[in-house]
Amino acid sequence: MTQGQDLLDVLDGFGVAEAHALALCGGAAIALAAASVSPRVTSLSLWHGDFELAGEAPKTQHQKDIQAMLTMVGRGRERAAAMHRLMRRPTTLDALRPDVAHHLVHPYASPELLYRYGLLNGSIMTTDCRPLLASVDRPTLLVTSPQDTTAHPEGSVRAAQLLPYGTLRLLPHGDHLTAFDAGPHLVRIAEEFIRDPYQRVGT
């Protein structure tokens, strides 16, 4: 996946020799892609990851719907424009949490953005992560919760099994938007792992 190389190019741009990769949702696949080709990614934490595992783990209805939608809009700008008109309906926008709506709506803000989002995120959602997971020999923390209805938690469970040095942290509560909030408990989990990725994270 070329977006993994993009991550390494960002490190070059900032003069960073090596780094921990902390990724949310589809960013998990990008972090894995970068780590699979470069030791500069020394450890990873993958939060509520959206993993394509070729049927080895279930997906939520949201994952299935978004993947189908992105495949469609990535096929051409006319299809993206038609979908963009649907996304602008008040009933769709009213369902968004106001404090994070600007993050969530950005990929749908214009037909061109939606088309590009289809190309980029569609690629992420259809890339088989199993070869990446098997090849990443760096300590990796996977965080999810049974309450996540966006990316199925069983994807993270299976990913942790496939990783040579994967540690699963199954939280009792939380979802994608909780991760956006970055509450003190979540920040502590991340910080403890980054400080010492070779030890299990505390509760």
| Confidence at residue 202, expressed as pLDDT on a 0 to 100 scale | 44
Look up the CATH number of the domain holding residue 44: 3.40.50.1820
Co-location of 48 and 65 in the same domain:
no
170 domain-assigned: yes
Specify burial of residue 141 (Cβ count, 10 A radius: 0-12, 13-18, 19+): buried
Say how far apart CA 81 and CA 9 lie, in whole Å.
31
200 domain-assigned: no
Which tens digits make up the pLDDT trace of 61-119? Answer: 999 999 999 999 999 999 999 888 877 766 666 777 777 777 777 888 899 999 999 99
**Mean of the per-residue pLDDT values of the chain:** 91
Co-location of 18 and 39 in the same domain:
yes
Co-location of 89 and 50 in the same domain:
no
Please state which of the ranges 1-5, 43-47, 134-138 shows the lowest mean pLDDT.
1-5
Q: Which domain holds residue 47?
A: 2-57+128-195
Co-location of 12 and 25 in the same domain:
yes
| pTM of the complete model | 0.88
Say how far apart CA 126 and CA 166 lie, in whole Å.
22
Give the residue among 113, 95, 120 at the shortest CA–CA distance from 177.
95
